[in-house]
């Protein structure tokens, strides 16, 4: 075996010097678990709080959102007392005239000769 | 794979690596905890990584680099404001600390790449494949760097041990 593939004396000394007692490792581990659990516990309420705020904002927005009122029909009225013409924007037209006195219904036949 | 078992198995090695990397046990504990939190969260959200060892050591290596840079930046301010304080039991740890410093000083004479693979192998006790994944090199390159680092350490050690003789002459 190549002597340079074996740990040197310096490495062996270093390993001995830096090897910690069990208490330090336990302390670090306990701290890490506690911090990660704390982070988790802190995160969950924030997620729920965020979701509640978003839901409330949507509800308030929906409640106060201005609903466009149905536009009234625009009518143009022209004419004279004998006949009033009401015209809608879409082009439909109504002619309003006073009620006629009645259609003459006689029994007369007009014959026009050639 | 069980997350608790994996985390328990990796923690002592991670601490050893980070102590060697930073030279400061308290900083090593902070960075190790950060790396473990990242592992736990990744595991819960996306399942276990391909190699938990490589995953956690890669994060630890990155964060240790950042922590060292931050410490180097803030150290003068800490000293100026008197925030730096001695840890508990510093007298008892002095000899241990001096020996560790001497070893780390010796390792600092290696190139950055060689030192990194040596620390991951010696202190982190990682496999070659995991070291390759952490440092972003091929396993063959890692083997070569490791061998070169050991050869260089040996020659440096021999040079150092011969120095007093030369001085005496």
Segment B26-73, tens digit of pLDDT: 889 999 999 999 999 999 989 999 999 999 999 999 999 998 888 888
DSSP A24-38: HHHHHHHHHHHHHHH
Kindly report which listed range (A27-36, B6-15, B86-95) carries the lowest average pLDDT score.
B86-95
Does A11 sit within 8 Å of B118, measured CB to CB? yes
Dihedral Cα B85, B89, B91, B95, nearest 10 deg: -110
pLDDT tens digits, residue range B4-37? 999 999 999 999 999 888 888 888 999 999 999 9
Query: Between residues B84 and A105, which one has the greater pLDDT?
Result: A105
Q: For residue B164, is pLDDT > 50?
A: yes
Q: For residue B169, is pLDDT > 50?
A: no
Residue B123's nearest CA partner among A7, A28, A9, A19 is: A19
3-state secondary structure (DSSP) of residue B110: coil
3-state secondary structure (DSSP) of residue A96: strand
Does A19 sit within 8 Å of B12, measured CB to CB? yes
Write the ipTM.
0.73
- pLDDT at site A53: 93
Give the tokens for residue B48. Answer: 């276990």
- pLDDT at site B160: 63
**Rounded Cα–Cα distance for residues B85 and B88 (Å):** 9
Distances A77 to A72, A94, A100, B64 between C-alpha atoms, Å: 15, 10, 21, 87
Q: For residue B81, is pLDDT > 80?
A: no
> How many angstroms from the chain centroid is the CA of residue B124?
7
Is A15 part of the contact surface with chain B (CB cutoff 8 Å)? yes
pLDDT tens digits, residue range B97-123? 777 787 888 888 889 999 999 999 988
> Which residues, 6 or more positions from B12, have their beta carbon under 8 angstroms from its beta carbon?
A19, A20, A22, A25
Q: For residue A80, is pLDDT > 50?
A: yes
Average pLDDT for residues A76-87, to the nearest whole number?
83
Best residue in B33, B60, B151 for a mutation probing chain A (most A CBs within 10 Å): B33
How near does any CA of chain B get to the CA of A38, in Å?
Answer: 11
Helix and strand numbers (H, E) in chain B are: 7, 0
- pLDDT at site B51: 92
As a whole number of Å, the end-to-end CA separation of chain A is 141
Q: CB burial class (10 A; 0-12, 13-18, 19+) of residue B118?
A: buried
Query: Between residues A49 and A81, which one has the greater pLDDT?
Result: A49
Q: CB burial class (10 A; 0-12, 13-18, 19+) of residue B114?
A: buried
Best residue in A3, A5, A17, A37 for a mutation probing chain B (most B CBs within 10 Å): A17
Average pLDDT for residues A24-29, to the nearest whole number?
90
Residues 52-71 of A with CB under 8 A from B: none
Does B99 sit within 8 Å of A13, measured CB to CB? yes
Is B20 part of the contact surface with chain A (CB cutoff 8 Å)? yes
Residues of A in Cβ contact (< 8 Å) with B44: 36, 40
Whether residue B22 contacts residue B67, with contact meaning beta carbons closer than 8 Å, is answered with yes
pLDDT band at A16 (very low <50, low <70, confident <90, very high): confident
Does B96 sit within 8 Å of A17, measured CB to CB? yes
Range from A37-41, A80-84, B37-41, B80-84 that averages highest in pLDDT: B37-41
Residues of B in Cβ contact (< 8 Å) with A34: none
Is B105 part of the contact surface with chain A (CB cutoff 8 Å)? no
How near does any CA of chain B get to the CA of A40, in Å?
Answer: 9
Residues of B in Cβ contact (< 8 Å) with A20: 12, 15-16, 19, 25
Does A18 sit within 8 Å of B11, measured CB to CB? no
Whether residue B133 contacts residue B94, with contact meaning beta carbons closer than 8 Å, is answered with no
């Amino acid at each position: 075996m190549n002597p340079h593939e074996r740990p040197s004396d310096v490495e062996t000394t270093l390993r001995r010097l830096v090897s910690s007692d069990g208490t330090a490792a336990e302390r670090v581990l306990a701290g890490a678990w506690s911090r990660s659990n704390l982070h988790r516990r802190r995160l969950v309420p924030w997620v729920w709080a965020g979701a509640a705020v978003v839901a409330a904002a949507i509800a308030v927005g929906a409640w106060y959102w201005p609903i466009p009122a149905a536009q009234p029909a625009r009518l143009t009225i022209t004419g004279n007392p004998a006949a009033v013409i009401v015209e809608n924007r879409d082009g439909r037209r109504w002619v309003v005239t006073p009620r006629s006195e009645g259609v003459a219904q006689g029994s007369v036949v007009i014959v026009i000769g050639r | 794979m069980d997350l608790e078992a994996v985390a328990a198995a990796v923690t002592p090695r991670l601490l050893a690596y980070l102590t060697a990397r930073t030279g400061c046990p308290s900083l090593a504990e902070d960075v190790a905890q950060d790396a473990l939190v990242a592992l736990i969260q990744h595991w819960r959200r996306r399942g276990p990584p391909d190699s938990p060892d490589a995953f956690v050591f890669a994060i630890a290596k990155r964060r240790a680099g950042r922590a060292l840079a931050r410490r180097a930046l803030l150290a003068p301010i800490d000293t100026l404001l008197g925030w730096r304080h001695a840890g508990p039991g510093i007298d008892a740890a002095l000899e241990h600390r001096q020996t560790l410093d001497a070893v780390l000083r010796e390792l600092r004479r290696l190139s950055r790449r060689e030192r990194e693979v040596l620390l991951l192998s010696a202190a982190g006790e990682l496999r070659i494949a995991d070291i390759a994944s952490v440092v972003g090199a091929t396993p063959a390159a890692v083997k070569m760097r490791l061998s070169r680092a050991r050869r260089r350490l040996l020659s440096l050690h021999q040079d150092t041990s011969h120095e007093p003789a030369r001085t005496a002459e």
